[in-house]
Chains A and B, each alone.
Chain A
Amino acid sequence: MADQLDRQQFERTAIAVAATIATHAAHLPPWLTAGLAAAIGLRLFARRRGSATISSWTRVLLTALLLVVVATRYGNVFGRLPGTALACGLLGLKLFETERTRDARVALCFSGFVLMSSLLFSQALSFSLFVGGVLVLILGALATLQPAPLPTRRPLRADLRIAATLLAASVPLGLAAFALLPRLQAPLWGSRDDGIGRTGLSETMAPGQFSQLMQDDSPAFRVEFASAKRPPNAALYFRTIVLTDFDGTTWTRRFGSDRGVPTPAARGRTFDYTVTLEATDRRWLPALDLPLFAPPGARLDDDQMLIAARPVNQPREYQLRSDVDTHAEPSLDRRERLPMLRLPSGYGPQARALAQRWREQAKDDQGVVRAALAMFRGSFTYTLSPPPLARDSVDDFLFGSRQGFCEHYASAFVFLMRAAGIPARVVTGYQGGWWSGDYLLVRQSDAHAWAEIWRDGSGWQRVDPTAAVSPARVELGAPDANNVQAWFGAEWLREVRNRFDAVNRLWTLSVVQFDAMSQRNLLSSLGISAAAQGDLLLMLSTVLGVAMLLAAAWAMRDTRARRGDALDHAWRGFRARLARAGVDDRAAEGPLDLRVRLHATAPDIARAVDPLVSEYVALRYGTAQPAASRIADLARRLRSVRLPRARRGALRRTGIQVRRVP
């Protein structure tokens, strides 16, 4: 059966399918990935051995099993995660019934869909490139399936080259569609409801919670300052979440109390900048401490936190102005003061006692702060891998382990301040970053926690106890301060990674973030203003049409350039005309056989054509070097011979192939 897949075709299909599933490996349950890999491997092995096909009962059973495990794992089969898990499973199982070319085509087309869905999970440059590579594999496998006139051995390189050519040829079209297709305000596939795969600051803080974050090198956001003046490194505190409530283990945000705190006034050095925030699926927006106003679509709450109206489920850009010297809220009334002093009962008796002692010894609040920082500076160590803490985390940390990083210090410090009667709160956010040319890259590993204490008269003031323990953390950033991550300290490696980020940023800015607004900007820069969506569609179809025409011209040029001289060309044209007259064109038929066939099926044509065939044979085969004049003459006659057009179909049906020449 010509339709049966040969080994090469099946294997390339299977590899393309496996690669497609691999793009989902990051969020599929490991057992599913492993199971599918094993299934595909077994199938490849079985086909190589020439084992029998898999019965439909087994396939039905496997499909049912897949449905059941996906449903039990995720609770349902709808939604992004269960949906893709199911799609990957079905795609893998499809190979079990892939025996013929048609099955393989279906499998590969479905691969294309599953591959596209992997972009719902990540749109990073490197991942997109990976997806592009898999797409080449899929197209290459499709090219392998292409029926050849003869089954031939197909070198993989040749098929991949076809695939790459196809992909390259589709780039202009893709670009046109990218630039001109009307953009929706929200992503087509809705919001990222499940927030899987996002790391970042959470709205709570418990000891040890940051450890993972600190290892995460993915970009959190990028900051571009409007002027060349940059804030000093020590001022690069990006406040994000303010935590006020403590239950002995975990710091949480208090429930909003919108009293309408006046926005802070500019007092010292102000900076205008643009933040490009990676998707977080949460509503908070980081801002250089302290933002003076909220960007559109966000508000500044009582704790000077920027909160967006909707979760940031795609990269978001916003402009801000901050004053690094100002303090918020010049007054704190009783009602507000109390929550900032509240401590969980039954926790940290030693810490409370210590704070009381300081209170008695010190003249003022400043003295208490100094005493606390002095203690940290004295006998504490900064490490990203501290030992786990006991239930009473504050006492255990202060009087037991004495090892920790920002969140331990911030937590303990705020506890001590509150115990000493000073209103205090924890602020989490990011500190530092890496200057890449004209912008500052802040990674998740730059996450930081610090404290704010209330001072009568001047308001909330930032105190960073971590800085007391490890000044380098603030000056250089977490990765440098921490020798646990010494491997990461390889300078060139960081350099490479940081350079790569510059490319990544360009990708995010120009591709991932390309929305309706960017589209308008782009079009207006091209002199097309206020383009309505209908116009866009019109433009798109025009571009598509032109591209198609160009492609058609290109393809036709290709056939025309097929080997052959003027005589071949004339003869081919004549055979094409014959085909239109109802004599189907058989490439493998010689001219004499054609004449025999014509005599048998279309005597009227045969009479007219006879001398032409003789002349063609004489020129083509009767002499080594046909005279140009005779070729030209024959070509003219071949063009001008009258062929009937009416007898389509009838001839084709009666056409018998005669191979022998008497």
Chain B
Amino acid sequence: MNETTHPPLRADLRDALARAVHQVNTVVLGKPHEVRLAFVCLLAGGHLLIEDLPGIGKTTLAHALAATLGLGFQRVQFTSDLLPSDIIGVGIYEREAGVFKFHPGPLFTQLLLADEINRAMPKTQSALLEAMAEGQVTVDGTTHRLAPPFFVVATQNPLDLAGTWPLPDSQLDRFMLRMSLGYPDRDAERAMLGASDRRDVIAALAPCLGPDRILELRQACAAVLASPALIEYVQALLAASRDHPEIRVGLSPRAGLALLAAARAHALLAGRAHCVPEDVQAVFPFVAGHRLGLGANARIDRTRLVAQLLEATPVR
């Protein structure tokens, strides 16, 4: 659906992106929408939180992304005894040189899969989230930059809450998108059961993009036009969330920025050089869902609330 006279991307970049999306879809079966959201998050420069049950394919998605994107990949299984230094790294005294040498932790990568992030204690969570926000870490007074692109895919199990520290609202805000995968549909599941091991499939994947191309894509993403009318629409959505009586804390301006960035990425993935309200609507539930602070005795779930906000805000 190409509405624009100027193609937003160079042909090779566009093709590579399309190939990448397609390739991930061959691994994660039957989840095109979720895969697109993961790419939205990547292109918009955000981080992704996947909330779902174990065995649904969260890790597969992350692996497939890493392999397809051609990014350095690290996986950290968060546990209650995980310390900040376990992920950031630690300075070790080297006798020969007589200095402390920084040994970078798994954080120093390009795609980090933080599994079951809510199992770690708040201190560790907060170290990770700080790194996500700042794009750098400071150890022993030395600041170490994380090489862009730095993309975190965190997962958490929303049901098994015993012995976890749920992320506070302020921390959830660090994730641009939160989504769940859900069970695959019947056809996808049959295909998956009948096919070979996913790990083998992933090992066979060829990288389609690379760090440079991803950065280039991110630049193109930022250049996608959000017209005054569209920005007004985004504003109306933010205002609606702040006026809703069931919502204690409405969407913040940061949420508005995230929404706009995600909408731009969504437009770029659709091959458009400008955002339309449909882009905003497509990403809104995943941008807004985890940022709405519900009232103490709200009688409505987030999904319905978000749908209600979309339903009630006229498009301009």
> A: which residues have CB within 8 A of B?
6, 8, 50, 148-153, 564, 568, 587-593, 614, 617-618, 620-624, 659-662
Contacts and interface: CB of A to CB of B under 8 A. Distances in A.
7 contacts: A148-B312, A149-B313, A151-B246, A618-B5, A621-B225, A622-B227, A624-B225
A508 to B, nearest CB: 47
Interface of B: 1, 3-5, 33, 225, 227-230, 240, 243-246, 270, 273-279, 281-282, 297, 308-316
A564 B236 CA distance: 14
B180 to A, nearest CB: 17
Given A588-B312, A614-B3, A662-B1, A621 B274 contact: yes
B311 A588 contact: yes
A618 B4 contact: yes
A8 B245 CA distance: 10
Nearest to A657: B311
Task: Please list the 8 inter-chain residue pairs (A to B) with the smallest Cβ-Cβ separation, ordered nearest first.
Answer: A587-B314, A150-B312, A590-B277, A149-B312, A661-B278, A152-B243, A590-B278, A622-B274
B193 to A, nearest CB: 27
Contacts of A152: 240, 243-245
A622 B3 contact: yes
Given A153-B245, A622-B3, A623-B225, A661 B240 contact: no
Contact of B243 (A150, A592, A620, A622): A150
A661 B282 contact: yes
B3 A618 contact: yes
Given A590-B281, A614-B3, A661-B276, A621 B315 contact: no
A597 to B, nearest CB: 12
A13 to B, nearest CB: 16
Contacts, number: 92
Contacts of B309: 150
B106 to A, nearest CB: 36
A620 B3 CA distance: 12
Contacts of A621: 225, 227, 229-230, 274-277
A360 to B, nearest CB: 93
A662 B312 CA distance: 23
A588 B225 contact: no
Given A153-B243, A661-B1, A592 B278 contact: yes
Given A588-B314, A590-B276, A621-B229, 9 more contacts: A8-B245, A149-B312, A153-B245, A564-B316, A568-B316, A617-B3, A620-B316, A622-B227, A623-B227
B301 to A, nearest CB: 14
Given A587-B314, A588-B311, A659-B281, A151 B275 contact: no
Among A152, A618, A622, the one with the most B-chain Cβ atoms within 10 Å of its Cβ is A622
B310 A588 contact: yes
Contacts of A590: 276-278, 281, 315
Contacts of B244: 150-153
Q: Is the interface of A mostly helix, strand, loop or mixed?
A: loop
B227 A592 contact: no
A659 B244 CA distance: 22
Contacts of B274: 621-623
A661 B282 CA distance: 8
Nearest to A148: B312
Nearest to B309: A150
Among B273, B276, B278, B312, the one with the most A-chain Cβ atoms within 10 Å of its Cβ is B278
A617 B225 CA distance: 12
Contacts of A588: 281, 310-315
Nearest to B314: A587
A348 B74 CA distance: 119
A618 B246 CA distance: 37
B240 A150 contact: yes
Nearest to B273: A622
Nearest to A149: B312
Contacts of A591: 276-277, 315
A152 B314 CA distance: 15
B233 to A, nearest CB: 9
Contacts of A151: 244-246
B4 A659 contact: no
Contacts of B4: 618, 622
A153 B277 CA distance: 26
Contacts of B245: 6, 8, 151-153
Contact of B276 (A6, A568, A592): A592
A620 B227 contact: yes
B278 A593 contact: yes
Nearest to B266: A661
A618 B276 CA distance: 10
A564 B244 CA distance: 24
A662 B270 contact: yes
A6 B311 CA distance: 20
A624 B275 CA distance: 11
Contacts of B277: 590-591, 621
Nearest to A4: B299
Contacts of B308: 150
A361 to B, nearest CB: 91
B292 to A, nearest CB: 13
B78 to A, nearest CB: 33
Nearest to B227: A621
Contacts of A153: 243-245
Contacts of A618: 3-5
A659 B311 CA distance: 11
Contacts of A592: 1, 276, 278
Contacts of B281: 588, 590, 593, 659
Among B33, B273, B313, the one with the most A-chain Cβ atoms within 10 Å of its Cβ is B313
Nearest to A658: B278
Contacts of B229: 620-621
Given A624-B227, A661-B1, A617 B312 contact: no
Contacts of A623: 225, 227, 274
Contacts of A661: 1, 270, 276, 278-279, 282
Contacts of A660: 33, 278, 282
B31 to A, nearest CB: 14
Contacts of B315: 587-591
Among A8, A564, A591, the one with the most B-chain Cβ atoms within 10 Å of its Cβ is A591
Contacts of B230: 621
A149 B239 CA distance: 13
Contacts of B5: 618
A153 B246 CA distance: 9
Nearest to A622: B274
Contacts of B240: 150, 152
A25 B117 CA distance: 64
Contacts of B297: 50
B316 A659 contact: no
Contacts of B228: 624
B160 to A, nearest CB: 31
Given A617-B276, A621-B230, A659 B225 contact: no
Nearest to B279: A661
Contacts of A6: 245
B34 to A, nearest CB: 12
Among B240, B276, B282, the one with the most A-chain Cβ atoms within 10 Å of its Cβ is B276
Among B3, B274, B310, the one with the most A-chain Cβ atoms within 10 Å of its Cβ is B3
Nearest to A150: B312
A152 B312 CA distance: 11
Contacts of A622: 3-4, 225, 227, 273-274
A660 B273 CA distance: 18
Among B4, B33, B310, the one with the most A-chain Cβ atoms within 10 Å of its Cβ is B4
Nearest to B4: A622
Contacts of A659: 278, 281-282
Contacts of A593: 278, 281
A6 B297 CA distance: 12
Contacts of B273: 622
A610 to B, nearest CB: 11
Contacts of A589: 315
B33 to A, nearest CB: 7
A35 B281 CA distance: 53
